[in-house]
């Protein structure tokens, strides 16, 4: 077990604590819903979906989080601004969790951001993400709408090694986040494929040591491209996924994009087990759980 030398930032967003030393808080798990080709969505541009099935997924995740001591951020992904607004509104109505503003279409993110500006939902929202292809229009919109929390994607095909991603953050991305008025910065080093998760994990460690910002990544994106393990069946896929996720946790990850929300029943117990071990091992470095709802006290 280890302790970062740099003082660690801890943000509280809609009651969810994210950041800190390994073992202080449970890893925040980010499950996706309404993503591309999600079967509960019948019209991805208009945002038409099966509300009963969506609500069941939200409640199933909430239940397993409560049992394991896990914490969550919800990631509704919209193909259009109209759809994303509907998805966020639905998640905000039926949960108290933080929610990402997430879309592969930049204008859809900005449309949703403008829609919720000044609303009661805004303090729960997290912009995903400020990346190397940001625009002045995007940064201006983020600042104008007043969103305070954003994920900064420290990934570039020209900056793959951890030290190069640190440089990218220092020279380009953190100044951009400052221009956008972001106060709570979450760093995602990005994942290209399964082997590159090792580099992402190392970058997470170095980001926290260098800046103290909460950091994490999205291994799920690479898992679904790993055909060889998927062909071996669900048990092999789950075992491999748990190994991949836990590698990031043992490097200090504060959050993990774990993939479709339907994975929650097996993802939460797995990550809670790692969180509990990290917390127990933290006694050697003087780190104690900062919450009584920690997995260390829930799953044993």
- In tens digits, the chain (300 residues) has pLDDT values of 799 999 999 999 999 999 999 999 999 999 999 999 999 999 999 999 999 999 999 999 999 999 999 999 999 999 999 999 999 999 999 999 999 999 999 999 999 999 999 999 999 999 999 999 999 999 999 999 999 999 999 999 999 999 999 999 999 999 999 999 999 999 999 999 999 999 999 999 999 999 999 999 999 989 988 999 999 999 999 999 999 999 999 999 999 999 999 999 999 999 999 999 999 999 999 999 999 999 999 998
- The counts of H helices and E strands in the chain are 12, 12
Least Cα distance to 158 among 135, 190, 201, 204 occurs for 190
Contacts of 40-46 with C-beta under 8 Å, sequence gap 24+, read: 44/78, 44/79, 44/80, 44/83, 45/79, 45/80, 45/82, 45/83, 46/80, 46/82, 46/83
pLDDT in tens, 85-112: 999 999 999 999 999 999 999 999 999 9
In this predicted model, what pLDDT tens digit does every residue of 24-75 receive, in sequence order? 999 999 999 999 999 999 999 999 999 999 999 999 999 999 999 999 999 9
Rounded distance between C-alpha atoms, residue 49 and residue 41, angstroms: 4
Contacts of 123 (CB under 8 A, 6+ apart): 13, 14, 148
Both tokens of 13, joined, read 């967003």
Measure the CA–CA gap between 152 and 69, rounded to whole angstroms: 27
pLDDT at 224: 87
Q: How far apart are CA 220 and CA 268, in angstroms?
A: 14
Domains of the chain: 10-283 (3.20.20.20)
Q: State the residue for tokens 């920690």.
A: 294
* Degrees to nearest 5, angle at CA 163 with 162 and 168: 95
Give, in order, the Cα–Cα distances in Å from 150 to each of 51, 77, 101, 141, 213: 28, 16, 9, 13, 12
pTM across the whole model: 0.97
pLDDT of residue 221: 82
């Amino acid at each position: 077990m280890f302790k970062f030398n740099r003082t660690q930032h801890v943000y509280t967003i809609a009651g969810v604590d994210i950041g800190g030393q390994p073992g202080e808080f449970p890893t925040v798990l980010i499950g996706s819903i309404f993503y591309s080709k999600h079967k509960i969505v019948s019209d991805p541009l208009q945002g038409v979906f099966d509300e009963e099935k969506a609500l069941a997924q939200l409640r199933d995740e909430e239940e397993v989080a409560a049992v394991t001591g896990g914490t969550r951020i919800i990631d509704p992904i919209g193909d259009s601004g109209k759809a994303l607004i509907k998805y966020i509104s639905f998640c905000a109505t039926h949960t108290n969790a933080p929610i990402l503003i997430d879309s592969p279409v930049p204008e859809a993110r900005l449309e949703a951001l403008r829609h919720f500006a000044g609303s009661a939902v805004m303090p729960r929202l997290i912009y995903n993400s400020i990346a190397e292809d940001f625009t002045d229009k995007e940064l201006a919109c983020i600042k104008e709408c007043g969103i305070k929390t954003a994920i900064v994607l420290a990934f570039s095909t020209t900056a793959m090694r951890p030290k190069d991603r640190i440089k990218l953050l220092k020279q380009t991305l953190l100044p951009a986040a400052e221009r956008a008025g972001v106060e709570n910065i979450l760093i995602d080093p990005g994942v290209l494929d399964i082997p590159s998760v090792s580099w992402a994990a190392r970058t997470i460690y170095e980001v926290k040591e260098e800046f103290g910002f909460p950091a994490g990544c999205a291994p799920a994106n690479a898992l679904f491209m790993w055909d060889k393990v998927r062909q071996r069946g669900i048990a092999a896929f789950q075992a491999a996924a748990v190994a991949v996720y836990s590698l990031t946790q043992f490097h200090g990850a504060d959050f993990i994009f774990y993939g479709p929300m339907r994975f929650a029943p097996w993802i939460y117990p797995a990550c809670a087990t790692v969180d509990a071990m990290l917390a127990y091992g933290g006694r050697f470095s003087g780190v104690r759980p900062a919450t009584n709802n920690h997995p260390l006290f829930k799953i044993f």
